[in-house]
Structure 1
C-alpha cells in the first residue's frame, strides 16, 4: 500500500475545514486523478499526502510509514521519497533551469554536495535528459524569470522526474499549458510512473485530461470524496453531481466520449 488515509479531517489555522472524514487507499504503482470544483479540497488533500500538512484527526500512512509518528529527521527522509509538483513552482527568479532541476536531489545529497551544486551543476546531462522529455532542453541554462508560466510548470515536473521519487504528487501541473502541451506533459508523467512503478496522484481541473490519462478518478467536493471509480465508469450523472451549479463545456475528447461539464474558475 502506497497511501492510506483513514477518516482524515483537516482544519486550517484560520478555522476553515478543508477535509471531512476522508478515507482512501492507493496501491503502489497506481495512477489516480483527483477532480472537483474550486475550493473542493483537492490541494489540501495532496499537501496532506505529501506530509506538508498534518491531519487534524484521523490517520495517514505513506509508503509504509506513519509520518506523524516519526522523528523530524525520519520524516525528512520519508519526504525525500515523495515528489510534489506545484501548480506554481517555487523557483527563484534568477535561478538557472539546470540548477532548479538538479534541486530534485537535494533531499538525497549531502549538504556539501548540495552547496557545490549551487555553484557548479553536478549532473548537466541528467538535467538535460529530463528537460528533453518535456521539450525544454534548449532552456537548460536560462534563468527561471525568462520562462513562461507553462514552461515553469514543466521545469517543476522535470525536477520531480529527476528526483526519481517512489510517490509523485502533482497539484494542477498543467494548468498554464495549452491543451496539446498539457496532453503531452501528462503523457510524459504517466509513462514515467508506469515504467518505474511510481505511484502518481494528480489533481486536475480539466475532466477530459483526467479521463484520458488516469485509470482511476476520484471526485472531491466540500472536503469529501463524492466518488472513487475507474475512469470508464465516470459518467455524466456522477459529473453533474460533482459540479452541480458549475458550468463550463469541455471540448470534445475521444478519451472522454462525454459531454462533460466542468467548473468556471
Structure 2
C-alpha cells in the first residue's frame, strides 16, 4: 500500500480545507483528482506529500505514519516522494540542467549535492529527460528565460529524473497548450506504468483526467464526492460536482453539502 488516509482533515486557521477524507491508493495506481476551484485538490496533494500535517485523522505512506517518525526518518520517507508543482519554485538564474539534477538532492550526500549545483555531473541524464519533453535545447538556459509552460515541463523533468516511488503532480499542465498537456500527461503515465510508480495528479481539465487516468476522485468543499473508474464517471456526476462553482464556499462547521454524490 502506498497511501492510506483515514478520516483526514486539514485546516488553515479557521478555514477548512479537507474534512473526513478516507482514501486508499495502492502501489502502481494512477489516479486523477478533479473538482472545482478551491475544492481542496492542492491541499490533498500537499497532505500526501507530507508538506502539511493533518489536523484530524491519520495519514500513512508506505506503511508508515510520517508524523510519528523522527525528523530524519521523515526526511528519508520524503526522498521517496516526488512533487510536481503548478508553478515550480525554480530560481530565475538557475540553469535548467541544475534544476533537473536537483531532483536527486534528497538522495545525495551534502557534498555531492553542492558539487552538482556548481558542476553538473550527469548532463546526459538531464538531457535525456528534457528531450522527452521537447526541451533538450534548453539544457543550459536560465529558468528565468522560460515560459510558464516550459517551466512546468522542467518541473516534470526534475521529478522524472528523481525516480520517486510516489509521484504527486499538482495541476502539472495548467500553463501548457492542449497538445503539450496531452503529451506531458501521457509521458507521466508511461513512466509510472514502466516503473511501477504510484501517480496521483490534480487536474482542472476533466477531459484530460478521464483520458489519461484509470481512476478518478472528485472532491468538493474538502470532501470526497466520488471515487470511480474513469469509465464509470457520468455527466450527471460531473454536473453535480461542479454545480454552482462560482458560489462554492466553505460551509459552516457541521453543515452538510447541498450536493451529495454516491461513490461508485
The TM-score range, normalised by the shorter chain, is over 0.9
Alpha-carbon distance in 1 for matches of 2:245, 2:2: 33
Which string of whole-angstrom CA distances, capped at 9 and with x for unpartnered residues, describes residues 142-166 of structure 1? 0000100000000000000000000
Could you say what secondary structure the match of 1:23 adopts? strand
Equivalent in the alignment of 1:123 = 122
Query: Does structure 1 residue 55 correspond to structure 2 residue 59?
Result: no
Q: How does 1:115-154 map to 2 (within 5 A)?
A: 115-154=114-153
Could you say which residue in structure 1 is the equivalent of 2:71?
72
**Equivalent residue number for residue 24 of structure 1:** 23
Q: Which residues of 2 match residues 61-100 of structure 1 at below 5 A?
A: 61-100=60-99
Aligned-partner Cα distance in 2 for 1:246–1:42: 14
- TM-score, scaled relative to structure 1: 0.92
Shift of 1:63: 1.5
Distance in 2, matches of 1:204 and 1:244, equals: 17
Distance, in Å, in 1 between the alignment partners of 2:169 and 2:192 is 12
1:227 is aligned to 226
- Aligned-partner Cα distance in 1 for 2:82–2:194: 16
1:127-206 aligned within 5 A: 127-206=126-205
Q: Describe the superposition over 1:121-180 as per-residue Cα deviations: whole angstroms up to 9, x where unpaired.
A: 010011001101101001000000010000000000000000000000000000000001
Q: What's 1:8 paired with?
A: 8
Q: TM-score, normalised by structure 2?
A: 0.92
Ranges in structure 2 where 5+ consecutive residues have no aligned partner: 247-264
Which consecutive residues of structure 1, in runs of 5 or more, have no partner in the other structure? Answer: 248-265
CA shift, 1:15, in A, is: 1.6
- CA shift, 1:208, in A, is 0.2
Query: What's 1:256 paired with?
Result: none
Q: Matched residues in 2 for 1:102 and 1:126: separation?
A: 8
1:11 is displaced (CA, Å) by 0.7
Report how far residue 65 of structure 1 moved.
Answer: 1.2
Distance (Å, rounded) in 1 between the aligned partners of 2:202 and 2:7: 20
CA positional deviation for 1:64: 1.8
State the Cα RMSD in Å. Answer: 0.7
CA contact (8 A) 2:127 2:139 kept: yes
Alpha-carbon distance between aligned partners in 2 of 1:22 and 1:30, rounded to the nearest angstrom: 18
Per-residue deviation at 1:246? 3.7
